[in-house]
Structures are given as C-alpha cells and as structure tokens.
Amino acid sequence: MNRLLKSITLAIILLFAMDLAAANNCITLTLEQSVISSDPEKYNPDHKGRRSMPIICIIDLTSGTVQTTLTSEIISYEIWNSDGTALVAQYIDEPDFVGSLCDVSGFYQLRFITESYQYIGYIELPGK
C-alpha cells in the first residue's frame, strides 16, 4: 500500500511539473541518486540497500534557475556526454550552468553534485 501511495504521489508530481514546464521555457527531468565514493573497495553495485525516490528537477531557461529539493545542497552542476564518460563542463553558479544549456544542442547527462551524493539525469537540448 505504501509503495502504491508513493507511486501515485510521484505521478501527480510529474504531471504538475510537466504542466509547469509547458507553460514556461522550462525543462523537466528526473534525477537518480548515486553515492560518491572515493574508496572503490567500499562501492558494491550489487548491494540491494534502501532505494531512493527519484527527484524532479525543473530548469527554467528564462529565469536561469534550477528548482529542486536539493538546490541548497548542490556544490556543482556538471554536464557530461550522453554515456557519462567525459565531462563537458562544470559550474558552481546556477545561472552560469543554466545559461550554458541555452548555447548547446544534443543529448547530455547532467550531474548535480552534493557532499555525499551525485544526482544524475538526462536531457536533450535543441540549441538555439
């Protein structure tokens, strides 16, 4: 029952976010949480631990802002190539990050870095 309630809540949030994004010059994406570990021996991809809920992110290209529950925790904003093997750009300032998204086109991986986690989402940019 709890899983059903979480799924329904997530669906409602997604619908609301899509309406908001359609009304403005916004991009909506879903971010997945991933642990940042400097010790590769501690990382176990087969570990079946507690699962985190996806986080909805709205990037407003007009106002140059990122709206998410993580905003106060974000240390840096990163743009990676689509398969996540090459860092394209890294920003500390939110407006600089959003402004750069207006200048590029293609499919990218976005990473929002916090002290303990990175949040990863994918975005397709039409360019100018």
pLDDT in tens, 46-55: 555 555 678 9
Q: Is the pLDDT reported for residue 45 higher than 80?
A: no
* Phi, psi dihedral angles at 73 (to 5 degrees): -95, -15
Cα angle for residues 104, 110, 113 (degrees, 5° grid): 135
pLDDT digits (tens, 9 = 90+) for 86-107: 999 999 999 999 999 988 899 9
The lowest-confidence range among 2-6, 44-48, 62-66 is 44-48
Mean pLDDT of the chain: 81
Q: What pLDDT shows up at residue 99?
A: 93
Q: How many CB atoms lie within 10 A of CB 83?
A: 8
Q: What is the mean pLDDT of residues 112-124?
A: 94
Q: What pLDDT shows up at residue 53?
A: 77
| Residue with more model confidence, 18 or 89 | 89
Q: Is the pLDDT reported for residue 110 higher than 80?
A: yes
**pTM passes above 0.75:** no
Q: What is the mean pLDDT of residues 56-79?
A: 92
Cα angle for residues 8, 77, 41 (degrees, 5° grid): 85
